[in-house]
Amino acid sequence: QVQLQESGPGLVKPSQTLSLTCTVSGGSISGGDYFWNWVRQHPGKGLEWIGYISATGSTYYSASLQSRVTMSLDTSENQFSLRLTSVTAADTAVYYCARAVPPPGVVVTLDGFDIWGQGTMVTVSS
């Protein structure tokens, strides 16, 4: 079955760029009507949606983060990536990648996040 695995540095300095990759195994990243998401969770807090990139490469980001976020797709490696610029301590969180698909026959919304990576902790500190 499809599995997701996040990877990237666990420590990033303030003002630098956070870069994470999610590797998809057990299926093709572009083999269906998939939307590949990033979700983060600040320590002891709830879930925050960051954005998604579709299997065709279209992106949509959270309004609160869109000025600092870029997502990309690497179909040759079956991976998708997150870049978050100008990080501060407020970006310290566990970052998850997750998949969502549209309901059958529907294009205006998505179903829930059916597959998640295990998450990776990123600390922003000098």
Residues that bind other proteins (CB under 8 A): 37, 39, 46-49, 52, 60, 62-63, 96, 98, 100, 103, 109-114, 116-119
Nearer to other proteins, 63 or 76 (CB): 63
CB of 55 to other proteins, least distance (A): 15
Sheet holding 18-25, edge to edge: 3-7, 18-25, 79-84, 69-74
| Smallest distance from other proteins to CB 91, Å | 18
d(CA 119, CA 111): 21
Cα separation, 80 vs 96, whole angstroms: 12
Nearer to other proteins, 52 or 80 (CB): 52
